[in-house]
Structure 1
Amino acid sequence: MRKLNKYIAFALLLALVSFTSCSSDTIESKPAKIDIPKISNQSEALLNLFTNSGDYINGVSSPYLISAEEVNDDKSNFLLIDTRYHEDYVNGHIDGAINVDREMLIDFLKSVNIYQYQKIIIIDNTGQAAAYITSMLRAIGYGSTYAMKYGMSAWSSKVPNQWAKNVNNKYANYLTSEPTKKPKKGAYPTIETKGRTISEILEIRAEEEISYNFAVTIDKLIENYDDYYIVNYISESRYNTKHLKGSVWYQPKKSININTDLSTLPTNKKIAVYCYIGHNGASLTAYLRLLGYDAYSLRFGANSFMYNFARSNKWATYNASDVVMNYELVIGDVPSKEKKAKANTIINPDLNFKHHEVVLPDPSEVCD
């Protein structure tokens, strides 16, 4: 009986092999198509992501600054990215700094092994655009990014100092101690991108906003005062002492959150954010623009219109004698004077900087 069963099993196996080998039909293998539903409320999705993944804008170390002294002490371990105009870079930059256009920055970072560096340092003229860019990059996952405080104005006295000519005391008649109440909570902005996943949406938003002219000067703000909802982003006690008329106080690292006062910001009006020196304001402005708010940072913060008052009351102010170092500058296109330096090996003409004729804008409109 056992032998019979074996013969039957063997015969069936031969029949199966014969059938499959003689068949002219082939079985086509098609990749599985996964249809990812599009996120309907993209702004709210970003908000939830930020809130549930560290809330970086309200982090203890926000706005993630690093001093020129710290950069100088450890620059060989940092990826130094200089986002200034190419002409400024050629006239003098930090040894090892690579000149990258803001529009190309995200693609550039994708092309580099960033894990060989302890930190990514963003460098500009004054630190404000660097704080804006740093905020954008941290939002999309580059958590080791820092802005060099005060920019190249702090690196060397040989670099044209934009801080010295922009601290001011005008518009004293626009100052008051009378508070302005926050409006009632309302809706969040609506954004629409082609992204289907939250990471796609976030990167698209960052690519759209990273090179935006995000700042407003005090002169432009005063000239168009009624067009702006003004956010005062300093301590409450100092807000109560003196602030721009009509400005509304928001507590740094707390108020701008889905669970607190974020929804009191208008979605139908420009928002001007000001802090002490512009770094916090620029960082917050980047966050708000990612979410779809029409936000702008006041260049040089309160230093641009109430410098003497701020200094006499020991607020954060720019002071060249405390800030400006005299570190070495490298002249020319090449990142480092050391031929074998790591920075010299990762230059990519397609990603570093647009080598075209640059038409310089009105200095008052430059976001640096």
Structure 2
Amino acid sequence: MKLLKGLLVASLVTSLSLFTGCSDDDDNNDPAQTQFDLLSAYTDAHLADWTASGWIKDASDVYNNLAARYVIDMRSAADYGTGHIEGAVNATPSTLLSVAGNAGGKTIAVVCYTGQTASWATMALRMSGYADAYAMKYGMSAWNQTYAGSWDGGCSDTYVADFVTTAPPALPTYDAPALSGSQTSGADILADRVQAVLQGGFLTKTAANVFADLSGYNVINYWSEADYTTFGHIPGALQVSPGTLFADQNLSVLDPAGQNVLYCWTGQTSGFMSFYLNVMGYETYSLKFGANSMIHGNLGGHAWGTGGIADYNYPVVTN
């Protein structure tokens, strides 16, 4: 009997030591997750939905479905007052979410001068639960020809001779940004970050800014590789294909300690994605008017003024 008790005690001690050892190993292999870890796990699970087709639509969609749309106008109060889409509500970045809360179940359509700020704001809305919110493509410039000057003035061929058609360079890998905060869930961190980016406003750079200091920015071309080499690109620009800026894919090409400049065809897609990138902790600027501000005449169907996009003359009201 004594022998049996001794064996049982020895077995229990061995089991406890093994359990404790495994517990210590698990603790050492499971370091506390950072705010970025929690946020990126959450955004990676939702980014495909936020960026799904339908985040930007023609002015005709707003006009033909106006009764079912809640239009948010991001232009200045003065310009809104001189003419806006019937029923539109004026908002600023800091009031966007509170204004959106009055949508009453209608689909939100965001409007600005050119579609760029509206695209930026649309990502904020989609990240905040307005899954079907969208930007009106080309803004008021495409609603009525009276407002087309905003886009007409943004187009240029100034940098045609400066574009190069070299193959894309190898993509760098940077460390993740350090985010401050006390939230412990990805959803709560996201909500705080969305508010912070809205308060900071839409960050943009012009082509002149970039070409004046090509080595001072981490420039990212947001096209396919084929378009990058066919249409040409800003010298030294990285090439990142649309749909690959997940944390587990190409997000690490963003410099957490520098100024990142993202560009596309028109500044609308880059505006949309720049909101997300700033939420993730990267100081990211959208290049105003995109390639249209640099090589407008070479862009074919990607150019402002083609395909009837400026032919609408929909009505505006002043009340």
Identify whether the pair has TM-score above 0.5, normalized to the shorter chain: yes
Shift of 1:109: 2.6
1:61 matched residue in structure 2:
53
- Change over 3 Å in CA distance of 1:320–1:178 after alignment to 2: closer
1:266 matched residue in structure 2:
255
Report matched runs for 1:338-349 at 5 Å.
none
- Report if the CA contact (8 A) 2:125-2:133 is conserved: yes
The structure 1 residue matched to 2:205, chosen from 195, 216, 223, is 216
- Report if the CA contact (8 A) 1:179-1:248 is conserved: no
2:72 matched residue in structure 1:
81
- Report if the CA contact (8 A) 2:39-2:187 is conserved: no
- Report if the CA contact (8 A) 1:140-1:199 is conserved: no
TM-score normalised per structure 2: 0.84
Report matched runs for 1:281-320 at 5 Å.
281-311=270-300, 314=301, 316-319=302-305
- Report if the CA contact (8 A) 1:125-1:150 is conserved: yes
- Report if the CA contact (8 A) 2:71-2:109 is conserved: yes
Q: Which has the larger radius of gyration?
A: 1
- Report if the CA contact (8 A) 1:92-1:159 is conserved: no
* Uncovered stretches (5+) of structure 2, i.e. residues with no partner: 1-31
Q: Report the secondary structure of 2:274's partner residue.
A: helix
Q: Report the secondary structure of 2:151's partner residue.
A: coil
- Report if the CA contact (8 A) 2:261-2:287 is conserved: yes
1:22-43 CA-partner distances (Å, limit 9, x unpaired): xxxxxxxxxxxxxxxxx85122
Q: Report the secondary structure of 2:291's partner residue.
A: helix
Shift of 1:322: 1.1
Which shifted more, 120-129 or 255-264? 255-264
Distance in 2 between the 1:56 and 1:299 partners? 25
Say whether residues 1:121 and 2:113 are aligned partners: no
Shift of 1:138: 0.8
Distance in 1 between the 2:305 and 2:52 partners? 25
Residue identity opposite 1:284 in structure 2: M
- Report if the CA contact (8 A) 1:120-1:144 is conserved: yes
The structure 1 residue matched to 2:239, chosen from 236, 246, 249, is 249
Distance in 2 between the 1:113 and 1:310 partners? 37
- Report if the CA contact (8 A) 2:42-2:187 is conserved: no
Shift of 1:46: 1.6
TM-score normalised per structure 1: 0.73
Residue identity opposite 2:220 in structure 1: V
Shift of 1:53: 3.1
Distance in 2 between the 1:281 and 1:238 partners? 16
2:308 matched residue in structure 1:
322
Residue identity opposite 2:66 in structure 1: K
What is the Cα-based RMSD across aligned positions, in Å? 1.9
Residue identity opposite 1:106 in structure 2: L
Say whether residues 1:137 and 2:137 are aligned partners: no
- Report if the CA contact (8 A) 1:234-1:251 is conserved: yes
Shift of 1:108: 2.5
- Report if the CA contact (8 A) 1:140-1:203 is conserved: yes
Percent identical pairs in the alignment equals: 26
The structure 2 residue matched to 1:161, chosen from 149, 164, 173, is 149
Residue identity opposite 1:69 in structure 2: S
Residue identity opposite 1:143 in structure 2: A
Distance in 2 between the 1:113 and 1:238 partners? 39
- Report if the CA contact (8 A) 2:122-2:134 is conserved: yes
1:41 matched residue in structure 2:
34
Structure with a larger share of its residues in helix: 2
Shift of 1:164: 0.4
- Change over 3 Å in CA distance of 1:261–1:320 after alignment to 2: closer
Distance in 1 between the 2:95 and 2:175 partners? 33
Q: Report the secondary structure of 2:215's partner residue.
A: helix
Distance in 1 between the 2:170 and 2:282 partners? 17
Distance in 1 between the 2:254 and 2:96 partners? 30
- Change over 3 Å in CA distance of 1:243–1:146 after alignment to 2: same
- Report if the CA contact (8 A) 1:50-1:56 is conserved: no
**How many residue pairs were aligned?**
285
Residue identity opposite 1:109 in structure 2: A
- Report if the CA contact (8 A) 1:182-1:264 is conserved: no
Shift of 1:125: 0.4
1:105 matched residue in structure 2:
96
Shift of 1:171: 2.0
Q: Report the secondary structure of 1:273's partner residue.
A: strand
Shift of 1:227: 1.4
Distance in 1 between the 2:169 and 2:307 partners? 39
Residue identity opposite 2:275 in structure 1: A
Residue identity opposite 1:226 in structure 2: S
Residue identity opposite 2:34 in structure 1: N
1:185 matched residue in structure 2:
173
Residue identity opposite 2:162 in structure 1: Y
- Change over 3 Å in CA distance of 1:114–1:199 after alignment to 2: farther
